[in-house]
């Protein structure tokens, strides 16, 4: 039986390589636009437009100003846009200075797949859950069609996507992390396991809806190792043996992320049979992120549990860019570290531009995707 299982594995690996190579031999996809759905990992200004703007030092490294992103610079979505030859995406909710010719970003920081019964002022959870983002997309597409026919000015027309581009666009997803973070606060593990199928089902419904609207190319990130976010440990004192793994991550939280990702991958596989004209690429971003965390010492990065921006010592926490009085009565400022390019974590929740770029280099060539398709060829059904 062992030899048979090994033989099957070899065959599957060969098929994967041949399939990926056949795609690589084709010309790169010419995506005229990109539409993104997600949370703060891919937000490019949505939550800033809807609520209080994100301020400096966020954005300082690349944009030299606050740019609506929860990072010191570019987020992973920005590197995706660069890779497929498109401008950075304007947030759908941002009406000032927005150019939607090459797509729109419906993501907002704090978004979840499943609606949450709390406000953003409680725990930072966005009211723009995935179903609301889909509504925004549908409205955007409908109004675009009407406006494109009505507008006479070439300049005004140049700010709108061409109606025929929607079916040729790349549709990206990076969402689900906050569904787990909310559940860690409100449920025990058994309740969360019982909830995951419903969360995944709602995600599948969103993809199916976009397909019915004409979308064909989907690039779907799984959720990262949430137990490796420094914020998850800010209030944990003297953890029991086995609570953390060898790299300092909370094992139980990561196990739940792995379970979530397994069901997400199964759902994507099922969608391939249900959506015969769709090219669906499942991206193992978890492995990319955990891979960096496991290699930081050997590659010269700072401790992945060390936050670049903010003050976090024992029981005292002052968030990035803010002032706060700590336990000894001293007023502290959540300042930026001297070398953000060497840090994985920007503010305890989000990654630095350097880390985001590292993740991009790991996933764009198809080595961590199913099927093994480079993002430049994600329009091909493999």
Tell me the pLDDT tens digit for each residue of 276-308.
999 999 999 999 999 999 999 999 999 999 999
Ordered by start, the domain boundaries in the chain are 29-299
| pTM for this predicted structure | 0.92
260 falls in which pLDDT band (50, 70, 90)?
A: very high
More confident call, 36 vs 3: 36
Calculate the average pLDDT of the chain: 93
> 259: exposed, middle or buried (C-beta count within 10 Å: 0-12, 13-18, 19+)?
middle
Q: Which residues pair with 37 in a beta bridge?
A: 173
User: Model confidence over 92-129: pLDDT tens digits?
Assistant: 999 888 999 999 999 999 999 999 989 899 899 999 99
Among 14-18, 33-37, 174-178, 322-326, where is mean pLDDT lowest? 14-18
Q: Are 219 and 171 in contact (CB under 8 A)?
A: yes
The pLDDT assigned to 95 comes to 85
Report the topology of domain 29-299.
Answer: Rossmann fold (3.40.50)
Active centre residues (catalytic): 40, 347, 350
At 8-26, the pLDDT tens digits run 333 333 334 444 567 778 9
Predicted pLDDT of residue 236: 87
Q: Is 50 exposed, middle or buried (0-12, 13-18, 19+ CB in 10 A)?
A: middle
> Alpha carbon of 181 to those of 161, 175, 178, 203, 223: distances in Å?
35, 12, 5, 17, 11
The confidence score (pLDDT) of residue 193 equals: 96
């Amino acid at each position: 039986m062992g030899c048979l299982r090994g033989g099957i594995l070899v065959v599957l690996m060969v098929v994967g390589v041949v399939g990926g190579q056949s795609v690589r031999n084709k010309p790169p996809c010419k995506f005229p636009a990109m539409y993104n759905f997600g949370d703060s990992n891919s937000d490019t200004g949505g939550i800033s437009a809807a609520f209080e703007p994100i301020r400096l030092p966020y954005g300082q490294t690349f944009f030299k100003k606050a740019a609506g992103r929860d990072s010191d610079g570019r987020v992973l979505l920005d590197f995706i846009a660069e890779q497929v030859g498109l401008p950075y995406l304007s947030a759908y909710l941002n009406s000032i200075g927005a150019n939607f010719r090459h797509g729109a970003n419906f993501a907002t920081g704090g978004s979840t797949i499943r609606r949450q019964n709390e406000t953003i002022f409680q725990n930072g959870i966005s009211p723009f859950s995935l179903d609301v983002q889909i509504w925004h997309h549908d409205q955007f597409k409908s109004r675009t069609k009407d406006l494109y026919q009505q507008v006479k000015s070439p300049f005004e027309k140049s700010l709108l996507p061409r109606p025929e581009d929607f079916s040729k666009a790349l549709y990206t997803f990076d969402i689900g992390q906050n569904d787990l973070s909310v559940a860690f606060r409100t449920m025990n593990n058994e309740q969360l396991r019982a909830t995951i199928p419903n969360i995944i089902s709602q995600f599948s419904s969103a993809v199916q809806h976009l397909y019915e609207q004409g979308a064909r190319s989907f690039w779907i990130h799984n959720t990262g190792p949430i137990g490796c976010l420094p914020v998850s440990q800010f209030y944990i004192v003297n953890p029991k043996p086995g609570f953390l793994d060898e790299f300092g991550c909370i094992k139980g939280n990561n196990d739940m992320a792995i379970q979530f990702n397994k069901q997400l991958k199964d759902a994507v596989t099922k969608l391939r049979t249900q959506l015969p004209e769709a090219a669906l690429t499942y991206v193992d971003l978890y492995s990319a992120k955990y891979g960096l965390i496991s290699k930081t010492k050997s590659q010269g990065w700072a401790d992945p549990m060390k936050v670049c921006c903010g003050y976090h010592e024992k029981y005292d926490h002052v968030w990035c860019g803010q002032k706060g009085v700590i336990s000894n009565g001293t007023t502290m400022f959540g300042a930026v570290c001297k070398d953000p390019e060497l840090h994985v974590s920007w503010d305890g929740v989000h990654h630095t531009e350097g880390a985001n770029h590292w993740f991009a280099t790991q996933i764009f060539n198809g080595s961590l995707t199913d099927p093994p398709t480079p993002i430049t060829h994600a329009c091909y059904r493999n």
